[in-house]
Structure formats: structure tokens, C-alpha cells
A and B are shown apart, each in its own frame.
Chain A
């Protein structure tokens, strides 16, 4: 799987972060030359995830203020020389535990580390007291971050959504081809299917990096959320279908003649399914789709009829042969796949 489609987004984030730091450094130099709180706050707040940057900025701003006040007040109230080390140990232990426990939960990854950073600063940098200057610096840093988030390469979650989904669709299409080749027991089909499967697995196993996970976060733009949520759920269901088909494709058929008779209509169905996927890619790229030359389910109806006429048993007696059941299941999955793709295509048109 290539990540070249992601190059633009990291560059934009890097420019935005650097600009925020530049503004913070300049303002800090002229108004608060002796302190670093504005710059530190800006550096910590610019690292928000895609989807809800303003909400995350506010949340972290509140965290920073609370931690700053809590830590500095504790040191004032308990000036004992053991207070600072005790606080450090407590903060470290809790943060490390929280970090490891929630490290997979979206957005909460940074909070423990952020908490640790703020507390360490207050504990180690001497002569910090509850001073309105420091609070003003933190607020200024937040304002700079919000300004940069809104005006310097602002996030385009709709574009980023398309980019990430676009990278997955060709992998799904290739995986489908490989599964049909595996079902028809073509040469090297198994290795090919495993390779294509690995590409799809990589995306889902590293969802945070390759998939638009921000769609599920509360506070995300409601105008975009409904459509993107629907899309993501159906892409997930398409992936589930393909994984389920893998198990069926591995089955050793006792009647290879059965496969041969179904080979042509099966391939035709898969070709039409891939056409739909290609159309989906075009729609996501905002290009005109290729006009479809077939009725949406006609080829599948033909496949089902061919299967029924070849097998020649009713549904109730299908389980007299494992081969019949597995083929019926595979064809049914092709139908499910087609219905999912049709639903997505109609959403985007």
C-alpha cells in the first residue's frame, strides 16, 4: 500500500505548525521575553488530530490551565522539598499507566503525555507561582493555535476522507479478483490471495494511520458526518464480506466440473462488480463516472440461475453437499457485495 497520497497533508500540517510557532516566538519575544509558556502551549496545541481540531484545542487548553494551576498551587500549599519528587512520581506513574491503557483510543493518546509535560515544567522550572502573566501567555498561545488552525491550510476532512478511502478501494478490488482465482483453483492463486489480503489487513490493522477514523468522533462536522459515516460503515461491511469469502474460496471442491460450469458467469459478475468499484473511485475523485452498460443485478441473477440449474436441488436440500453450500454462500456474498456497492454509488451520485 502506498502512502504517497498522504504527502500533501503532512506538509500542510508541518507548515501550519511552523507558522504557529513563528507567530508565538515573535509575540513572545516582544511581550513576554523571559518566559516560554506561550510557545510551549502553541507547540502542544497545534498537534490536534483531523476532524475536530478546535474542540481538541479547547480541551487541551483546559487541561493545560487546570494542570498548571493544580501543580503550582500544590507546590505553594506544600512547600516541603519532598512534595515535588512525590508529585513527579505520581504524575509519571499515572500518566504511564493511562498512556498504556488508553493508547488505542482515538484522541486520548496525547493527554497523559501532555499532562506529564505541563507538570514537569511547573515542577522543574523554578519560581513558578499562580501569576496572571503565565495564564495570559497560555491563553495567547491558544489564540495563536486557533488562528493558525482556521486560516493556515485549514483541515479539509472531506478531501482527506476521499484520499484515504481511494487508497483502499483498489486493494479491495484486487482482493476480490484474487479470491475468485482462488475459488477457481488457478495457479499461484493462494499466494496472490494472501498478498492481496495482507494489503487490506494492513489498512484495517492500522486504522488510525490509513482510515478516516475521525468520522466516529463526537463533535465532528455534522454536515459531513452522516454521509461519511454511512460510507465508512459500508466499506467496512465490504471488507467483512471479502474476508468471509476467503474462507469459502479455500474449500477443496469434490466436483471441479461444477466450478468450471460456473466459471464464466462468475467472472462476468466479478468484472461488473469491479466496474462498480472503479466508478466509485471516479466519483470520489469528482470525475464523471463511466456509464454502466448492464442492469445492476442481471448478471447475478444469471449466475444464480446457472447455479440452480447445475446443482438442481432445492434450498432445503442444499446441504447434501458441502460444495453446493459453499458455492451458494460465495454467490450470495457476491450479491451482498453488489448491493453494498450500489448503495455507495447511489449515495455519491
Chain B
């Protein structure tokens, strides 16, 4: 059983299961808290359960933090603050005005800090929540101290489990960020080469611009995550590919004449297919990536451009620059750092 678990944990799970890892971590914390709950029964043990389950959720803000070590300490800090406030409010709960003042100060500070820096938002919510529950459960010093220790125990439990999983998982975080980034880039290209079978709709702005913007800002966020761990040379190339991608996307507002693209439907589809395929190869980290299909697609588009499109379109420069961007993309992919090597270039 242990060997199977170790083997399972050593596997690199598919990117779609990353969320399950978070669920798994939370379940482990819940299970341990439950074990304590049953082994050491006490009327106040529900504080351990409440605190451990809620505190386990406060750290996951965005992927950029997932590669850093120090957010793991959020759990301890949040737990300590919660414990102190619960202790204080348990003792003052009998006095309405005193407990009200403490609660109001807590609410103000947690709300202010949470809105000032969104990283602290959820921690603030949980601290506030636990404080309110304590303010309605008056008790004596012994019980207050018990609650304090239980919440501290909960935060130590959450911290320990999170730390173990962090140390194990950070090896894969970079891998996940990379795969995520490449998947998002594929989506972005899907939007750039949108709906090739109906080129007219491409320029009636059926593209949801907000979706496009949201996709590229997600890519940027993932690039920021990758910057922390990626080799500088690889990072530089990814940034250039990213820049070229946005340059290719400029066609959507530059090319005003939709009928031009009706001539290049097949080439458009080929371009999208070949670029998507290249990103798939990058995701699989294959030893060599095949640039031949992209090369052929670009050449065909170039021939059509020189033969027909330049004479048809009002702004021949736009298509010329688009094709040059495709060449630049091909060059960047050709020169991409190891372990990706290249073959199939002209």
C-alpha cells in the first residue's frame, strides 16, 4: 500500500489533475484532524476541524505564488492570529460591547488588509469568520485556552502537510506552469486563426475580444510564473515567441477586407494545424520538433500572397508583415533551447 502510494505520488499527473492534488492535500488535513477529533474527544474539538479545513484553503491565490516557499508560512500566521482572536473573544463574549469593539477592530483590519493586498483576502475572511463564531460562544479561561491550542494545532497541522506537499510538488510546479503556458498559447493561436471556414466572420468581430484579452493575460501570468524557475535562455525564447504571437494577432484589426481570407482558407487551416501540432510537440518535450508542415504552410501562403493577394488587398504591407512574423515564429522555434532540437526546416 505504501509502495503503491509512493509510486502514485512520484508519478507526474496530467495537468488536469493538479486541482485534485489540492483536494488531496485538503483531504489529508481533514483526515488527520478527524483522527484527532475521534481519538481525543472533547466538546471543543470542532474548533480543530473548523480551523484546519478553513485554514487549508487560504494559501492558494495564484500560480505565481505556487513556486515560492514563503506563502507556506501564511497558514501558521493566519492560524496564530485566528487563535489569539478566538481566545480573546471567548473571554470577552459575555460582555456585548467589549466583544463588539474587538470584532469591529478585527473586521476593519482584515477587510482593509484584504482589499489592499488581495493575497491576504481569504486569510482575512477566515480569521473574521472564526472570530465571529468565538464571539457567540462565551466560556471560561480554560475553554478559551483549549480553543487557542486547538487552532494552533490546526495551523501547525496545515503548515506541516502543506510544507511536505510543497517540497514534493514544487518539482512539478514548473512542469505544470510550462504545460499550462503552452496550452494557453495553443488557445491563443486558435483565436488568432479563428474560424477559417468562415473567414467573413473573422472580421465581423465575432472574435470575443474580451476572451482574447483574457487568454493572453493568462499566458502572461504563466510566463511570470515560469520566469522564477526557467533557464534564462529558454525564457528569452518564450518571451520572443509570445511577442511574435501578439504581432500575428494584430492582423485581426489591420486587415479590413475579409474577402481576402476567403482565398486562403486551406492555407489558414494548415497554419493553425501545424502551429498547434508544434505546441503539442513542445508539451510532450519530444527530442526533435518537426517544422516541415509549418514551413510548407508558410510557403503556400507566401506564394498566394505574391501571386494574388498583393494585387487584391488594399494594404499589401499588412499581409507581408504577417508572413514575416510567421517566418520569425519559425526561426524562434527552430532555435529553441535543448532539450528541443529541430528538424525539417528548409
Contacts and interface: CB of A to CB of B under 8 A. Distances in A.
A9 B115 contact: yes
A252 B223 CA distance: 25
A34 B136 CA distance: 7
Interface in B222-259: 223-224, 240, 242-244, 246-247, 249-250, 253-254
Interface in B285-331: 306, 310, 316-318, 320-321, 324, 328
B108 A36 contact: no
A96 B247 contact: no
B221 A206 contact: yes
A14 B111 contact: yes
A113 B125 contact: yes
Q: Is the interface of B mostly helix, strand, loop or mixed?
A: helix
Contact of B111 (A6, A17, A113, A207): A17
B35 to A, nearest CB: 11
B57 A88 contact: no
Interface stretch (B75-83, B211-219, B334-342): B211-219
Main secondary structure of the interface of A (DSSP, over half): helix
Interface string B265-278: 00000000000000
B328 A247 contact: yes
Interface stretch (B20-28, B157-165, B195-203): B20-28
A40 interface: yes
Interface string A5-23: 0110111011101100110
A120 B246 contact: no
A66 interface: no
Residue from A92, A97, A124, A250 having most chain B Cβ neighbours under 10 A? A92
A117 B129 contact: yes
Interface residues of A, number: 80
A333 B318 CA distance: 11
Contact of A124 (B26, B46, B96, B223): B46
Given A117-B129, A318-B320, A207 B217 contact: yes
B152 interface: no
Contacts of A22: 100, 104
Interface residues of B, number: 77
Given A209-B118, A247-B247, A329 B324 contact: yes
B183 interface: no
A243 B104 contact: no
Contact of B103 (A7, A14, A25, A216): A25
A92 B53 contact: yes
Interface in A1-59: 3, 6-7, 9-11, 13-15, 17-18, 21-22, 25-26, 29, 34-36, 39-40, 43-44, 46-47
A201 B54 contact: no
Contacts of B129: 40, 43-44, 117
B337 to A, nearest CB: 17
A246 interface: yes
A230 B249 CA distance: 18
Interface in B75-117: 96, 100, 103-104, 107-109, 111-116
Contacts of B54: 113, 116-117, 120
A236 to B, nearest CB: 4
B53 A120 contact: yes
Contacts of B324: 319, 325, 329
A6 B216 CA distance: 25
A247 B244 contact: yes
A125 B250 CA distance: 58
Given A17-B111, A328-B321, A104 B60 contact: no
Nearest to B100: A25
Interface string A92-110: 1111110111011000001
5 contacts: A18-B108, A120-B54, A206-B62, A216-B210, A316-B316
Given A100-B19, A207-B217, A329-B247, 14 more contacts: A25-B104, A35-B136, A40-B133, A43-B125, A43-B128, A43-B129, A47-B125, A100-B18, A113-B57, A117-B129, A205-B221, A209-B118, A243-B243, A319-B324
> Which A-B residue pairs are the 8 nearest by beta carbons?
A10-B115, A244-B247, A247-B243, A96-B26, A100-B22, A14-B112, A100-B19, A124-B46
